[in-house]
Amino acid sequence: MTFTPRVFSGIKPSGDLHLGNYLGAIRRFVPLQDTHETLYCVVDMHAITVWQAPEDLKRWTYEIAAAYIASGLDPGKSIIFNQSQVMEHAELSWIFNCVARMGWMERMTQFKDKAGENSENVSLGLFAYPSLMAADILLYKATGVPVGDDQKQHLELTRDIAKKFNHDFRKQIKDLGFEEEFFPITETLATGPAMRVKSLKDGTRKMSKSDASDTSTIYMMDDAGTIARKIKRATSDAAPLPETAQGLAGRAEAENLVGIFAALSNRSLDDVLGEFGGRGWGAFKPALADLAVAVLAPIAGEMARLVGDRSEMDTILRDGADRARAIAQPTMDQVRRIVGFIR
Ligand code: TYM
């Protein structure tokens, strides 16, 4: 059986959006609208796996939906919605909690990083989080998921859950008239530069919504002066820029800044270094700041307009949720029958 080419991705409303979210995810969502059915979700149910003040949760939910649209997602083409309006996500994730094995979940590095020393005291939801993520994706039988590098392990788990479900229920799936798999084996779409944008202060750490240091992160809503100041103060090294991408090996901060430049300008690392190789940071950083402002400022302006119009945003999100539900409900009906729930 062939599956409809369909893309799903999501972002958690748990902090202000940053350049890593833009380059690793949002920017790459846009061209997929022309080749696939696309669903882009604001995953508010994921956000509450750690404490969120309800007013912040709402504000960030609107902000992400606005960023999607301001970056070029067209609500006429893509289904844009927030997760909690489609309750089938929660229902399927419960079934997946009963498919996924403890051992699989315990191997999730993101849980270990987030829980840290405090693993006895984090929410049960944080542990089960990857199973909800698998439900997000498989509820729509998505064939591809664009994400940054840090989500790759969760996508592997999604494939494991799909395979185990297809295997455990193969008789019921066949009885329902399916020739082969019920769920697709979803592909991770994570290639290109800037799949892991690093902190501006430490080239070994990823740029993150929850970073305590404000200067390490460029936020999508930062103004031009703030962006320029953060880039100027970004950690670099003493050597001039190398002539080719190979020369970036072992220079994490340089690799990060050149990678950001390449991604923002849609050029290869070698092409960027063809221009800046042999020159110092005093030449490169102002050019990077200008480029970042040229790309981000128009998006930030449109985001500000959209978040100011909550009733327009509510209409878009409600319409998106209706369209998402129309895909999710027939699948969920079949899942219930496959599992053996009486209706
Ligand atoms: P979240 O909200 O942490 O991040 C959203 C997207 O941004 C990417 N990203 C980055 N890319 C490059 N460099 C960085 N420094 C960086 N930081 C974040 C992430 O890889 C992601 O693509 N679990 C997911 C949300 C989710 C989801 C899903 C994604 C829930 N269900 C289903 C895809 C499909 C998360 O926490 O992303």
Confidence of residue 117 (pLDDT cuts 50, 70, 90): confident
| 25 shares its domain with 70 | yes
Which atom of ligand 1 is found nearest the CA of 142?
34
Q: How far is the CA of 125 from the centre of ligand 1 (A)?
A: 17
Say what angle helices 269-276 and 252-265 make with each other, to 10 degrees. Answer: 100
Q: Is 26 in the pocket of ligand 1 (CB under 6 A)?
A: no
Indicate which residue's Cα is closest to atom 34 of ligand 1: 9
| 150 shares its domain with 241 | no
Q: Is 146 in the pocket of ligand 1 (CB under 6 A)?
A: no
pLDDT at 193: 82
pLDDT at 116: 87
Q: How far is the CA of 194 from the centre of ligand 1 (A)?
A: 13
Confidence of residue 180 (pLDDT cuts 50, 70, 90): confident
Rounded to 5 degrees, φ, ψ at 75 are: -60, -15
Answer whether residue 331 is part of any domain.
Answer: yes
Report pLDDT digits (tens) over 214-264. 899 999 999 999 999 999 999 999 999 999 999 999 999 999 999 999 999
Q: Is the pTM of this model over 0.85?
A: yes
Rounded to the nearest integer, the mean pLDDT of the chain is 96
pLDDT at 191: 86
Q: Is 49 in the pocket of ligand 1 (CB under 6 A)?
A: no
| 92 shares its domain with 220 | no
Answer whether residue 201 is part of any domain.
Answer: no
Answer whether residue 206 is part of any domain.
Answer: no
pLDDT at 29: 97
| 80 shares its domain with 134 | yes
Which atom of ligand 1 is found nearest the CA of 129?
23
Q: How far is the CA of 147 from the centre of ligand 1 (A)?
A: 6
- Which range marks the domain in which residue 245 is found? 214-305
Judged by DSSP in three states, 223 sits in coil
Active-site residue, 206 included: yes
Determine the Cα–Cα distance for residues 339 and 341; give it in Å rounded to an integer.
Answer: 6
Assigned token pair, 184: 């697709």
On whether the CB atoms of residues 232 and 285 are closer than 8 A, the answer is yes
pLDDT at 1: 60
- pLDDT exceeds 90 at position 101: yes
The tally of domains found in the chain comes to 2
Active-site residue, 114 included: yes
| 95 shares its domain with 179 | yes
